[in-house]
Homo-oligomer: A and B are copies of this chain.
Amino acid sequence: MNKPMENGFSVAMKLVAGKWKIDILCALSGAPRRFGRLRHSIPDISEKMLAQQLREMETDGLVKRQAYPGLPAKVVYSLTEAGAALCAGAEGLCRWSERFQVRAEA
């Protein structure tokens, strides 16, 4: 009876594992962003790393990439419904940490 819960949780966790995906979800939760703007809103991420994370998140159905014709082409990233919902879930856990001042800092 517990396994589906554990599995569902693990699936969600796998999607945001790694150093940057939570940051990207947060950065896109306010509004869609162009690549350059997105990069500036996440300190320390490299262009290559951001591009790779975005590709993975697009494959996972969390992020939508929309290209508009023109020179230079304008590419805008936004959260899908699933991405926005995952961000909300992650925020819930974040608020939990703030509220309970957990002792796991060590």
Contact = CB atoms under 8 A, between A and B. Distances in A.
Interface residues of A, number: 44
A21 to B, nearest CB: 9
A50 interface: no
Nearest to A80: B100
A97 interface: yes
Contacts of A86: 93, 96, 100
Given A5-B91, A89-B96, A100-B82, A11 B60 contact: no
Interface string A82-98: 10011001111111111
Contacts of A61: 100, 102-103
A73 interface: no
Interface in A28-85: 41-42, 59-61, 81-82, 85
